[in-house]
Amino acid sequence: MAEAEVPANDPLDEAPNREASVRDGLRCLQLSGSVFLRAHLSAPWAYVSRSAADLESMLRTRGERIIVFHVITEGSCRIALGNGVVEELVAGDVAILPFADQHVMGDPSLEGAVPLLEILPDPANTPVLRYGGSGPVMSMVCGYLRSDDLPLNPVLASLPPLIRVPTAGGPLGHWVDASVEYALHTLSLRSPVSDPVLARLPELMITECLCAFAGRGRGADQGWLAGLADPVVGRALACIHREPELGWTLKELARRAAASRSVLAERFQKLIGQAPMSYLTAFRLQLAGRQLRTSAASMAEVAGAVGYASEAAFSRAFKRHVGVSPSEWRKSA
By DSSP bridging, strand 31-42 and strand 128-132 are parallel
Average pLDDT over every residue of 120-146: 86
By DSSP bridging, strand 93-97 and strand 163-166 are antiparallel
The topology under which CATH files domain 30-152+161-215 is Jelly Rolls (2.60.120)
**What does 129-150 look like in DSSP terms, one character per residue?**
EEEE-SS-EEEEEEEEEEEE--
pLDDT digits (tens, 9 = 90+) for 26-81: 777 777 778 888 999 999 999 999 888 887 777 766 667 889 999 999 999 999 99
**Boundaries of every domain in the chain:** 11-22+224-331, 30-152+161-215
Q: State yes or no: pLDDT of 87 exceeds 60.
A: yes
Distance CA 315, CA 288 (A): 11
Find out whether 186 and 195 touch, Cβ atoms under 8 Å. Answer: yes
* CA dist list (Å): 163 to 2, 210, 324: 39, 8, 32
- pTM, entire model: 0.81
Q: State yes or no: pLDDT of 197 exceeds 50.
A: yes
**What does the pLDDT read at residue 333?**
66
Give the number of C-alpha atoms closer than 13 A to the C-alpha of residue 93, restricted to the C-beta side: 18
**Ranges of H-type helices in 27-96:** 52-58
Q: State yes or no: pLDDT of 99 exceeds 80.
A: yes
Q: State yes or no: pLDDT of 8 exceeds 70.
A: no
Q: Which CATH class is domain 11-22+224-331?
A: mainly alpha
Distance CA 235, CA 13 (A): 8
